[in-house]
Structure 1
Amino acid sequence: MRNRLSQTIFIVLPIVAMPPLVHAAASVQSGDWADPATWGGAVPGSTEDAVIRAAHTVTVTTAPPRAGAQVNAGGTLVIAETGRLEICVGCIFSNSGTVEVGGELVLGEDSSGATYKNWAPFTIHPGGSLVVTRNATLENALSTLTNDGHITNNGFLKNVLNGSSTLINHGTIDNNGILLNDVEMTNTGTITVGLVDIDLGLFSSSYHFVSEGGTVTTYPGSIWTSQEIFRMTNGAVFYNHGSFRTTGGIHHIVGNSSFHNYHEVAGATSLSAYDGGTFYTYCGATQNTVFGTVVDVCADTLFESGFE
């Protein structure tokens, strides 16, 4: 009888990297984020979502490990002037209570593709900053997002049509991603579109946008679209180095405000400059019909009626 050699078959399975598990750490009292007592024993780590419960105020005074943040109704997250909170990959950020930013809040990382939600009062104070990184999305719905500090948007900042949402800018917004207004937006500060990344800068407003003494500047490659009411008043200034495209609605330049067109104004509707408002067009610029007080800077010509 022949001896048979037994054969052992080895199956090698590929090792698949799994995303880190995200656990939740809930506040048990008000206090400093870095104080273990605030969380009942341990500060949230980089794989945890920190839940701030009702009646608790948690204050970030340093730069803790990256984590998530869920602010429940009645809860408050305060990022002090010395504080910096970065939301980790795979973690959440949602606000149903109150968020006050005096330091820095960073939402998402490149390639994270996360969507963060705001349903309650969210204020960036003077000296404070909010950063929305590329591929990340912040949706403001059912509440007011007030910027008295600095917003850097490299991703997608949406003021969405979901109830009553308002985006109020008294500070500075540097938009190098997509800034979308579907509800109500007012500007008394400064908005720049496409300054850093001229291929991505897009400011799209499909409902009420009022610039009350503020300044908006679009750079080459950026696009502005508006479908409803666009109004400049109280000495507001708009510098258009990109493409301002209107697809419907009413557009007013009034109250000593000025629109400076260096490149293109296009679309189906017109701009109306009156009651102290002025539309300026510069060498090489193109525009559709503009009514009211229009100055062709290159020709040193003033028009007091509509022109093409």
Structure 2
Amino acid sequence: MIRLAVDGMGGDNAPEQIVKGVLLALEKFDNLEILLYGDEKKMAPFLRNHNRLKVIHTDKYLDMGEKDPVGQLRKNKDASMFLAMRAVKEKEADAIVSAGPTQALVVASHMIIKRMPQMRRVAIAPIIPSITNKKRILLDSGANVDLKPEHLLDFAVYASVVAKSLLHIENPKVGLLNIGTEPGKGRELDVQTFELLSNTKEINFYGNVEPKEILDSEADILLSDGFTANIAMKTMEGTAKSLGKVLKKELTNSFFKKLIVGLFLRKSLKAFKQTLDPNEIGGAMIAGLQNIVVKAHGSSNAYAFYNGIRQAKELVEADVIGKVTKLLEKNEETV
């Protein structure tokens, strides 16, 4: 049985959409138990009794605009996010899922769950969609602005294990986001990272990948610093949403077009939406920690949060932490 700790009060649409996502996950997965942390009175209208759901009451939680997560961790220790995280630290749960403020989740992860000894940094690592239905891992998408080549190498090793275990890719290709595909392109960080990854046998280095190729690249893992990758991810999501709006406008601006859509194109448009919809992914793992932490989208609806729970469950089942630890320890022995 997999047991997850869930922050019931994190997110723009908490607690309603969080609770509904939890109940959907319990309905879908028979091997799942959930510890739900939050204000029981506020969650009550959306809750229903379930033998695999335990509600732990706290009326304290973090605002989505929280600017001082360290201060909150000191003076607001009973906040729903922090209680859920301590449950994982104390082995009462296998992983945590939260749609709360990203900075607070990253800081609390560092201070409560702690970084893996073999990892020099942690990274926010969403699984991103593509136009070919191929899932890719993008990191770091926001945890670190300043990185060194060896940090990106750690991320490549971690993401390679996740790609093998979770995405079932036998020999995942690692790409480096850059302004051009040729060796020697980009900043000093990019040039040095290219050289380091090229000479590392533990990963399958694909080479540089231009941002225009994100949605159809052959690479299974895309690496960059937190600023660059975050911009790339948000640009991709924004473009997908805008394209969807344009299609909807153009295909429904007359009765005849609406009829055509209804008769012939409904399934195709639904498939298009699912291909690029971030709600289908659910969230991003925080790679490099001693336990699984999944950051769901702040604006998650019930289905998106359910997918965040699904992702955390699958990461636990795949024993990603154990596999990464063994590989990194092996690398240290050979240095």
TM surpasses 0.5: no
When Rg is computed on C-alpha atoms for both structures, the one with the higher figure is 1
TM-score, normalisation: structure 1:
0.26
Higher relative contact order (CA 8 A, sep 6+): 2
The structure that is helix-richer by fraction is: 2
